[in-house]
Amino acid sequence: MEDIERFIRGFGRFQQQYLREPAALDSLRSGQHPTTLLIGCCDARVDPALLMGCDPGDIFVVRNIANLVPPFSADASPGVTSAIEFAVCGLDVARIVVLGHARCGGIRALMQGGRVTEETDFVARWMKLAEPVRAEVLRALPHKHEAGRCRAAELASILHSLDNLMGYPWIRRRVEAGKLALHGWYFDIDTGSLLAYSPRKQEFLNLVQPLEAAA
């Protein structure tokens, strides 16, 4: 009950901050017009709107275990793919950000190759989408310790999702026409920094410096 009461008080603060002015409610009633689709992880520590300081309506968010994008297929499960289709074709967003993060439980499960819970293997089945990432990391880093392989897989899975996005015909057309941009970002929980993939340098670089460097 303590958590529930905290959530209710939190909504009261949200109401006072965002909904006091009639114009604010009118704006929400008029529909959504986000310019960004953000594909993030379900991890409770990685709330995209909170991390990016967004107001209601700023971003269209799709969250799943390990921020994965399924490859394009006419027979694909419509959960994630339908949300991507709606954001790109319905809302006409200008950019897609795939946001990964450090210490991701889904990626750890992928690299360990086992089940996550005793009940079902839903997570393991979902993480098979990133099996090429696991295979590549194990091949490239056979002697790396587990934490190092997991970090490498967290970064590589972002690129894997970006590659999968380019397999969607209506995404590829917009990217090639300069109407849609794709970004790969990584929230490093260990340092409090935000990294972005640079296609030119083919590596992740600091977009926002670690806390110590910023200070």
pLDDT tens for residues 54-82? 999 999 999 999 999 999 987 777 889 99
Q: Determine if residue 57 is left, alpha or beta; phi over 0 gives left, psi from -120 to 50 gives alpha, anything else beta.
A: left
Residue of 116, 150, 121, 114 whose CA lies nearest to 133: 150
Beta strands 95-101 and 36-41, pairing class: parallel
Which residues make Cβ contacts (< 8 Å) with residue 60, sequence separation at least 6? Answer: 32, 34, 36, 37, 38, 83, 87, 91, 93
Task: Indicate whether 215 pLDDT > 60.
Answer: no
φ/ψ (deg, to 5) at 208:
-130, 125
Measured between alpha carbons, how far is 84 from 38 in angstroms, rounded to an integer?
A: 9
pLDDT tens digit sequence for 14-35: 999 999 888 888 888 999 999 9
Residue of 105, 130, 100 whose CA lies nearest to 204: 100
Q: How many CB atoms lie within 10 A of CB 163?
A: 13
Residue 95 — very low, low, confident or very high, per pLDDT cuts 50/70/90? very high
Q: Give mean pLDDT, residues 1-19.
A: 90
**Kind and range of the H or E element at 182?**
strand 181-188
Residue 114 — very low, low, confident or very high, per pLDDT cuts 50/70/90? low
pTM, to two decimals: 0.92
